[in-house]
Structure formats: structure tokens, C-alpha cells
Structure 1
Amino acid sequence: MSEDRFADVGRGIRLCYRETGDGPPLVLVAGLGQQLLSWPAGFVDLLAGRGYRVITFDNRDAGLSTHADYRPPSLGAILAGRTPAHAYHLGDLARDTTGLLDALELPSAHLVGASMGGMIAQTVAAHHPDRVRTLTSIMSTTGARFVGRPRLSTWALMAAKPPRTREEAGDRAVRLFRHIGSHGYPFDEPGVRARATAAWDRDHSAAGVGRQLAAIYASGDRTGELRQVRVPTLVVHGDRDRMVHPSGGRMTQRTIAGSRLVVLPGLGHDCPAGVWPRLVDLIADHARAEADDVAA
């Protein structure tokens, strides 16, 4: 297992990251409330085996990275657009990502983001295109109203009281991912529980999730800025996603010029082992096509 390392990325933010493999850098950006552990080790190893230096990291307010110290707004305030003036937004999380590239002395990298991580990677591509070799946006959306929204049943699960113990963290993760996960693939309850309890051991502060969710909603509709994205872009979405409706992926593809959409049957809002070979092929082939274009 790769070891935890730390990098100062500017503006008082310190990120925890891990590296696996050698080759062109490929950065995996995690989703809402997720740690670098959300990328299963077997999936990371498959990508590394395709010849990439795979970098995973905890976004700010998750895992072992810097946590903000202000109280997160309530869910009602977030949905109503009432967030503190000093709160961060997706642009700040994007700058954290480029700051990590700076700390690792990487001029650019392939960016792969899932869910909120897809939003962060999209924002990097829009504002810092020279840092992005290719963009792969997975199970994500543009922030446009009425697309990519969670089901009401998903909101109900997200609004539940945060876990108070390691065991409760595992139970909550199992309930959530049974609902939003890939109903077209076998459900790996032991794996879900193991990642959730390992994440609890690293960090079990619930406030960061609220601040990250506020950052998403404070960033609003990003359609205009995504129309400016010119980096090679692959959009991947599952047709069974109850967290980010598949309309979010379709809107992303329509918004980013020249992008390609792949809809994976049976995939929900997770990364089950059954989809790893297909997803790794998609990411690696997309990255390799950019390298071939540069070499031509």
C-alpha cells in the first residue's frame, strides 16, 4: 500500500496524497465527503499497471488534509443559497489541485474526477487548461438547474445524523451505497464497510461534508465556464445513478465542445470491481489518444 505523504499547496492548505506506479501523471480527484480511500486499491493498481503514475489525495476538509474551522451551513441554508461569505467554493478546490501539481513539480497531468471530484477537475480544465492533459469526468454534472440532481430518497439518506462510532460509520456507508450504488453489479458489502471504517480511522469529522456541499452549491451553474473547456474530455456516467442523475453527464457532454459520452449500463454512484476493467480501459485509452496526438 502506498504511504501517506503531505504537500503544502498554498493559502494555508496542506493536502495528504499517495502515489502508485510510474509514467505520465494521472490524478484521481475524490467526491463529496470522500477520502483518497474512495478509489479502491485494486482500481488504482490497474491504472498504474497501464503505465501511469497514479496520484490520489484527500481534498481539503476530508481525511488527513487541512480542515476549515468555520461551522458549515445547514442543508436548508445550502439549498437556499445562503452560505458564508468567507466559505470556499469549487474554484478554491481547483486551485488546491493545481497547487498539488506545483508541489510535485508537475507541469500538467491527466485529471480524472468522480462526482464532486469531476466538478473540481472540470473547473481546473476551465480555469487552468495548461495544467490538464486530458479530462475524464465521471458521474458528475455542470451545476445547471434541473439536471444531475439526487433523488429525494438520496437526500433523505444524506440528511441522516452523522455516525458517532466506527461501527455506525460502516453501517451508514452500507445503507447509502446499497441505495446509490451499482444495482447492475454485485454489492460488495465487506469492501464498502472496510473502506468506511478505514476512513473513520483517518478522520471522522462530519463538518467537512457540509462545507464541501456548500462549496458545490455556492459555485452555481458552471455551464458558461465549461463551454470554454478545450482539453480532450471524456464523460462517463452510469444509467443507474441515484446521486447524480444521468442527465448531469449528458449535460456535461453537450456543454464541453468535442467531448465524448460513455454511458455504462448498470453503474450507479460507486466503483464496483466489476466495472474496473472497462473504466480503466476508457481512462487509459483516452489518455493514450492525447499522447498519440501530441506525438503525431
Structure 2
Amino acid sequence: MAIKQIQTKSGLYIHYQDEGKKSAPAIILIMGLGAQMTVWPDVFYDALVNNNFRVIRFDNRDVGLSSQLNERDAPSLFSIWLNKHFSLGKPAPYSLEDMAEDVICLMQELKISQAHLVGASMGGMIAQIIAAKYKKKVLSLTSIMSTPNVISFSATTLKTIVKLAPLSQKTATRDSAINYNVKLNQTIGSPLFQPQESVLKAQAAEQIDRAHNPSGIKRQLCAITATGKRTHLIKKIKAPTLVIHGAADPLFPISEGINTAKLIQKSKLKIVPELGHDFPPKLMEKIAHWISKHVRNAEKIRIQKKIKKLTK
């Protein structure tokens, strides 16, 4: 396992894993809110590598083994909203655009001029920003369980947030953090693929022991709030796009996936009936197959464009 780190222009360290032939098409996996790169299931990661791709997964800033910005404040979301709309309150420590820049820095350090982006949840938001702002660097986009908005205010989403809110205040100790992680996965996970609680507890312990930074999660949430809706940006995306969304997602309802696909020209939408807001290994091989096919089609388009330029 080739795990390394790079330093961005802003001085942050980004911890990453890079597998597959360096000459192969590069796929960069961008994880969601508070989730470490190891949340991408190995069965999914390995399937992409075995399909002859170069696959990079990494810890976003403020999570996992990447730089933790604990010296920065985590203002209330209301304060950030006031700052964004009325120049009152406190600004967010950073934005999703800053997190998108981290990905660009990672690409530069790894000498990857163009890549296929796969983003999940908040990672989908970051990938959308990169695809819209850095069109020449993005060969394809896959947006999984994400949204063009800040958050959905559906009854299901609000019910999920209310259920998790009181638990999130009790993550100071290792045991309480593990218990919260278990409850989180039980709440947002795919109903038909719920692992036994002992399995969830073992997975949570592995995550917490690798790294635990609750204030970093709050700052990432601040970044989402500060960035706001991205509908105007998403309409600018030209890269071949695949949108994957679960019909059983309790956090971002299926309408968010449909809306994302509608905003991006010629995008393809895959609805997974059993998928919640997680990565069940039993579904991830199928999703890896979809993404592999999507990336290969995008590679064909890239090669055809290259040949067309040479023959002009």
C-alpha cells in the first residue's frame, strides 16, 4: 500500500494512497463530510485498480491523517450564514473552493494533468466545483449521493438530522465517538445491507484509532454552509458525468440526485433502489463497474478529440 503525503501551496499536508500503473488513466476519489479515505471500501478501490486504472484516495483537510486545522475557529452555522448574506457574523475557516484547490495541488504534485473525479456526498460537491472551474483538468465526473444545494429540507432529512444532533455532542471520549459512529451508520446506512452492530463497532474503532478530530468535521460543515448552492456552477460542467444516487438515502433524497443530473448537460443518472448514504460492499462492485465503464467511455472521447486535433 503506497501511502504518502504532499504539501499544498498553503502549507497543508494531504495524506493519500496511490495505486495502479502511473501511465493508466487516473481516478481521484473525493470523500464526504468527516469521512476518512479508508471509508472507501477496499472492494471498491481494488476493483477500480484491477480494471487497469491509477486510483488515488486521500484524506481531506481536517480529517484523517491530513493537516488538522485546530488553531482555526469553528463558528456557528448561523454566524456563517449572516456573514455570507449580510457581512455580519464570522466567516468560515475555509470553503469548499479551498478544498477543491487541495485536489488541484494533489494533482500537480502527482504530475496528473487530467483526471477522472469521483466524489461522494460533500466530496461530490467538491468534485462538481473542480469540474466547473477547471474544465481542462477533468476528463469525467462521477457524483455519488450528492447535491447541488447546501442541504435538503425534506421531512426525511430533517428527521435524520434531529436524530443525530444530540448524539454529535457526545464524541469527546473514544467510547462515545465509537458509539456515535455506530449510530450514524445505522441511521444513514442502506436498510437492506445493515452490518451487525459488532461489525459496525469494529469498523468505528478502526476509524477512531486512525484519527479523531470532531472540530475538523464542524469546520468542514462550515465550508459547505459558506459555499452555499452551486447550481450556477454545475450548469457550466462539460465533462461526461455520471450521477449515482440511492433511492433509500435518508440524508439527500433521490430528488437531489435527479436535480444534479438535470443541471449537467448529457449526464447519465443511475438510481440504486437499495442504496442509502453509505457504501455497502455488496453494492460497491456493481458501482465500480459502472464507474469503470463511464471512465473508459470518457477516455474514448478524449482520444477521439486528440486525433481530431492532429488531423486538422
TM-score, L = length of structure 1: 0.93
Larger-Rg structure: 2
* Inter-CA distance 217–149: structure 2 relative to 1 (3 Å threshold): farther
* Structure 2 residue aligned with 1:62: 63
How far residue 81 of structure 1 moved from its aligned partner, in angstroms, is 6.4
Residue 227, structure 1, aligned to residue 228, structure 2: no
Any stretches of 5+ residues in structure 1 without a counterpart? none
Q: How does 1:97-246 map to 2 (within 5 A)?
A: 97-143=103-149, 146=152, 151-159=157-165, 160=167, 161-187=169-195, 189-246=197-254
In 1, Cα distance between the equivalents of 2:211 and 2:299? 38
- Deviation of residue 146 (structure 1)? 4.9
Match of 1:248 among 253, 256, 281: 256
Partners of 2:145 and 2:245 within 8 A in 1: yes
User: Structure 2: 5+ residue runs without aligned partners?
Assistant: 305-312
Give the SS at the match of 2:193. Answer: coil
Residues 2, 19 of structure 2: 8 Å contact kept: no
SS in 1 for 2:94: coil
- Of residues 151-160 and 52-61 in structure 1, the stretch that sits farther from structure 2 once superposed is 151-160
CA distance in 1 between partners of 2:196 and 2:298 (Å) = 34
Q: SS at 1:10's partner residue?
A: coil
Distance 1:15 1:145 in 2: 27
Where 1:5 maps in the other structure, the secondary structure is strand
Change (3 A) 1:190 1:146: closer
Q: Per-residue CA shift, 1:240-263, capped at 9, x if unaligned?
A: 101112211111101111111110
Aligned residue for 1:72? Answer: 74
Counterpart in the other structure of 2:298: 290
1:9–1:100 contact (8 Å) kept in structure 2: yes
Q: Which one has the bigger helix percentage? A: 2
CA distance in 1, matches of 2:94, 2:116: 24
Aligned equivalents of 2:27, 2:140: Cα separation in 1: 9
Aligned partners of 2:61, 2:225: CA distance in 1, in Å?
17
Change (3 A) 1:244 1:78: farther
The alpha carbon displacement at 1:199 in A equals 2.1
Identify the residue that residue 9 of structure 1 maps to in structure 2.
8
142 and 86 in structure 1: CA distance in 2 versus 1, 3 angstrom threshold: closer
Give the whole-Å Cα distance in 2 for the aligned partners of 1:238 and 1:187. Answer: 18
* More off after superposition, 264-273 vs 148-157: 148-157
Q: Decide whether aligned partners of structure 1 residues 232 and 78 sit closer, same or farther in structure 2, where only a CA change above 3 A counts.
A: same
Task: Give the SS at the match of 2:65.
Answer: coil
CA–CA separation in structure 2 for the residues paired with 1:5 and 1:257: 36
Change (3 A) 1:132 1:183: same
CA contact (8 A) 2:248 2:276 kept: yes
Distance across 2 between alignment mates of 1:12 and 1:188: 41
Partners in 2 of 1:192 and 1:25 — Cα distance? Answer: 31
Report if the CA contact (8 A) 1:148-1:248 is conserved.
no
- Cα displacement (A) at 1:184: 2.8
- Between the aligned partners of 1:81 and 1:72, the Cα distance in structure 2 is 13
Indicate if the aligned counterparts of 1:21 and 1:48 stay in contact, CA closer than 8 A.
Answer: yes
Q: 1:115 to 1:149 in 2, by over 3 A?
A: farther
Tell me whether 1:41 sits opposite 2:42 in the alignment: yes
Aligned to 1:228, the other structure's residue is in SS state: coil
Tell me the C-alpha RMSD between the 2 structures: 2.1
Among the aligned pairs, what percent are the same residue?
Answer: 37
Give the conservation status (yes or no) of the 8 Å contact 1:88–1:215. yes
Larger displacement relative to structure 2 (20-29 or 48-57): 20-29
Shift of 1:144: 6.2
In structure 1, what residue type is equivalent to 2:181?
A
Instruction: Report the number of matched residues.
Output: 295
- Take 1:194 and 1:104, find their aligned partners in 2: how far apart are those partners? 33
